[in-house]
Amino acid sequence: MNTQGGAVGAVDCATPCLCDSAGQCFTSAPPSGGSDLPTLVLYPYCSSPSSCFVAVILASDGTLVNSASNAVAYDSGNQLDANFDPLPVTDSAYMKAKSVGCNGCPVDMGQ
């Protein structure tokens, strides 16, 4: 089984919202002193056929902040090792997305 299949795409919308399985939702924010939002890449990963998730890679400088508290939860710099190589997507530096939306938070699941 190929566990490194590659990214499925980038989130390309003005007000993205990404929620995890615990119901916590996050929005993207530019790096300190910056104005451009980070590029968010969705990367599916399976350690076995029945154990899969979608990691959110911050492919450019920036953060994901908790939509309720505005606290930084994920930082692009934390997704790199000391040699500036990407950490494995199984590292806790990556958010595991359950739902993604483009109209702010929370994500409307149509229920």
pLDDT at 91: 97
85-108 residue pLDDT tens: 999 999 999 999 999 998 889 887
Every domain of the chain and the residues it spans: 9-99
Q: Is residue 57 a contact partner of residue 44, using CB atoms and an 8 Å limit?
A: no
pLDDT at 7: 62
Task: Take residue 69 and report the two structure tokens written for it.
Answer: 């508290």
**One-letter amino acid for residue 14 of the chain:** A
Q: Write the secondary structure of the chain as one string of H (helix), E (strand) and C (coil).
A: CCCCCCCCEEECCCECEEECCCCCEEEEECCCCCCCCCCEEEEEEEEECCEEEEEEEECCCCEEEECCCCCEEEEHHHHECCCCCECCCCCCCCEEECEEECECCCCCCCC
Give the pLDDT of residue 13. Answer: 83
| % of the chain at pLDDT higher than 70 | 88
Q: In which residue ranges of the chain is pLDDT below 70?
A: 1-9, 109-111
